[in-house]
Structure 1
Amino acid sequence: MELIDYPNYNEKLFVQTLSNGLTVYLQPKAGFNKTTAVLGVNYGSIDSQFLLNGEKVIQPAGIAHFLEHKMFDKKDYDVFELFNKTGARSNAFTSFTKTNYLFSTAESFKDNLDILLDFVQIPYFTQEKVEREKGIIDQEINMYKNDPDNQAYFETIASLYPNSVLSEDIAGDVASVGKITLADVELAYKTFYRPENMSLFITGKLDPSETLRWIEDNQAGKQVPKPVRVKRLVELPSTGDETIQQSKMDVSRPKVTLGLRGNDQVPTGREGLKYEIALSVMFDLFLSENSVEYDKLYHDEIIDDSFSWEFENERGFHFAVISCDTAKPRELIKRLKQIIADIPEKIDSLSDEFQLQKNELFGNYIEMMDSEEAISGQFDGFIGEPVTIYDEVEILKSMTLADVSAIANDFLSRVTVQEVLIQNR
């Protein structure tokens, strides 16, 4: 096994790519009683169009999320029942670019590891089960359609990336889910659920050599799929003119979201992580509760505790969404756009605030280092090189205000802004 050492944190990451292509990452944590494992698939909602052995395939929106649901439904049992019997907590989620399956347990680690690998790598699909799942997912879609926060978020992304795979909800819609066939599910699985397109990250109470042997034994009993040529077809056309998307829902106060689409080129690996952390620091400097701008907005009664922002840096795209419930939606939009416009001029003068923000982030990272779930949640094995929470801290340590300023200026010089306003019916 390859060893990646983090001497500043007394941590080690063991890496091994198996003969079938599955890459395994093992991080033992001394003194921990739990173990958390995440089996990730480099496949998400934006991967509905691709070339398979030179032939173009277009699948219905929501197929990746649909497949995630179907993996738990076997011939005569539900996988959650198996995890429950061993005392493990299990879950799964689909994002724009990934599907993750995970469990956390304080006992029966090997049994749970076999359950995880087997249920993801040994599918069971039937026409009857596919049709039954459609009704379940339709209910989930309709539930989220009645959630103003969810609708505002996805309407903002759709306005930033119109007429593209990103304009579709991760789960698709009722119409697209209705088009999914058994053949679609089987093709998606065979194309993307391949060992070489997956990674297994495990942290907590474990012995690396013993755990790797268990994994190798499990994989030895599985047939290696035949090689295929896959090229993802993700086209993200330009946004166009700035607009305000308005809709009506049952809300007590208007809900505003401001979307910022990055149009600059983002590097991969640790350089990409540096870019992401720098922009997160930039937003914190101007929009966190510690910032002067936040304080003014709050005391002018334009924002309240519902104010938040998030930044997404994924495979091939990146964006930020700022949101808040407010009685003064037009004023909030106006003020936010002015704050963003002023960032290049003001950021270089915030040296003291920058150091305070770094210290706060360090504290957050130290807290996360005591959680297997947080450590596994920060891990990414699909960006050209494995990136851990310890890499993030080292990047933050060496980051200067000049670094943040340079990256912020690149981002803001080509950014596209869109607004979404949800008002009461």
Structure 2
Amino acid sequence: MKTIDYPIYNEKLIVNKLSNGLTVYIQPKPGFNKTTAVLGVNYGAIDRTFQVNGKKITQPAGIAHFLEHKMFDKQDYDVFELFNKTGARSNAYTSFTTTNYLFSTAESLKENLDILLDFVQIPYFTQEKVQREKGIIDQEINMYQNDLDNQAYFKIIANLYPDSALATDIAGTVKTVDQIQLADVQLAYNTFYRPENMSLFITGKVDPQLAMTWIVNNQKNKATPQPQVLQRENNFVENSQEHVEQFKMDVARPKVTIGLRGNDLVPTGRDGLKYEIAISIMFDLFFSENAVEYDKLYRDEIIDDSFSWEFENERSFHFAVLGCDTKKPADFIKQMHSIIRMIPNQIVNKTSEFILQKNELLGNYIEMMDSEEAISGQFDGFIGEPVTIYDEVAILNELTLADVTAIAKSFLSKATMQEVMIRAADND
């Protein structure tokens, strides 16, 4: 067990890798009234093709999300009901690369930790329950089909990464979900839901020594899986053929989404986080409400308050998505292309804007430090070294405009672009 100190903030992170491989991170927050715990699995929607002990396996799209659902389906108890009895709020979500199970509570921490660890680490799968779950997830998928933002987001990613695990919604499709069998669920669980492929992060009102004792005792009662050699296979075919994909839905105005696929090499660990923060500032310098470029687009009625952007930097891929509802879709695409092309040369001239955006982002981080849920949301234990919100602030403080310029040029010089436009069904 070791302690990582953050003396500037009078904070600390306790790290303990247990004998079974589970890594536990505890960040106590004296004065807080609640505690949040997140049990993360380094397994997400893209982990469909892999090798275990030399044997290649390919599973249906959506299985990671399907498995997340199945973890709550037990033989003789309801997981949410157990959490509710203690006054805790619980949830779970699956991303492209991780699956996370969490709770937040003001009391009964030991009981809730046992519930969390037990329901995730003691599975109950049957053929009947697997078949029944398919109908539930089919309804969820059909609901997504009518969600404009969801459709635009996943269609642009599919165009950026065709013929890959990223080309399908995290939940899969009705067809792929129907292909999932009991043996698939069991194999996915046994392969990825292993202590050495998981981490537990706890923050808020918590006694680290006492909580660690509870966790160690809980893990002693569980069998350690046999060692395995796991090799993930995520091959993303390059797609440099730019085109605007158009399709029709029930919209009042066209919705346009632009995707930028990063093809440059992103460093790992804290350097990777520096890259991510730099790209975020880059976009803010040109597309935040304070930016001259944003203001002109707004005044020309090319964009409105629906405009947004996001940047994803995950294991083995990174991309940006910018989108807006606009009555001038062609102008939106043209102007966005123009601004993106000139960023590498113009960013060096934004010294004062850089200071402003950096300070604004710093303020956002400081605000998040008062929320145990925000702190847990920023934590990452799967990039080779633990990264907390305090590490992010340290990286931000050291970041220079020259750093942002260099990283922006690295990203944009090799990025490929795609567009998706959703038009009203009655527009021909």
TM-score by length of 2: 0.99
Matches of 1:397 and 1:232 in 2, distance apart? 35
Match of residue 284 from structure 2? 284
Give the CA deviation at 1:355.
0.2
Matches of 1:416 and 1:323 in 2, distance apart? 16
Paired residues for 1:45-194 under 5 Å: 45-194=45-194
Deviations 1:334-355 (A, max 9, x none): 0001000010111001000000
Match of residue 378 from structure 1? 378
Deviations 1:31-71 (A, max 9, x none): 00100000000000000110011111010000000000000
Deviations 1:60-115 (A, max 9, x none): 00000000000001002221111011100000000000000000000111100000
Give the CA deviation at 1:240.
2.9
Letter in 2 for 1:188: A
Matches of 1:277 and 1:259 in 2, distance apart? 18
> What secondary structure, in the 3-state scheme, does the structure 2 residue paired with 1:8 have?
coil
Match of residue 424 from structure 2? 424
Letter in 2 for 1:402: A
Paired residues for 1:194-233 under 5 Å: 194-233=194-233
Letter in 2 for 1:235: N
> What secondary structure, in the 3-state scheme, does the structure 2 residue paired with 1:324 have?
strand
Matches of 1:349 and 1:252 in 2, distance apart? 39
Letter in 1 for 2:401: L
Letter in 1 for 2:238: S
Aligned length in residues: 425
Letter in 2 for 1:199: S
Matches of 1:358 and 1:234 in 2, distance apart? 34
Matches of 1:347 and 1:230 in 2, distance apart? 42
Identity of aligned residues (%): 73
Match of residue 392 from structure 1? 392
**RMSD (Å) for aligned C-alpha atoms:** 0.5
Deviations 1:364-412 (A, max 9, x none): 0000000001000000000010001000000000000000000000111
Matches of 1:197 and 1:20 in 2, distance apart? 10
Give the CA deviation at 1:196.
0.1
Give the CA deviation at 1:269.
0.5
Letter in 1 for 2:356: L
Unpaired runs of at least 5, structure 2:
none
Matches of 2:230 and 2:414 in 1, distance apart? 31
Give the CA deviation at 1:228.
1.1
Matches of 2:400 and 2:332 in 1, distance apart? 30
Match of residue 324 from structure 2? 324
Runs of 4+ in 1 over 6 A off after TM superposition: none
Matches of 2:361 and 2:229 in 1, distance apart? 42
Unpaired runs of at least 5, structure 1:
none
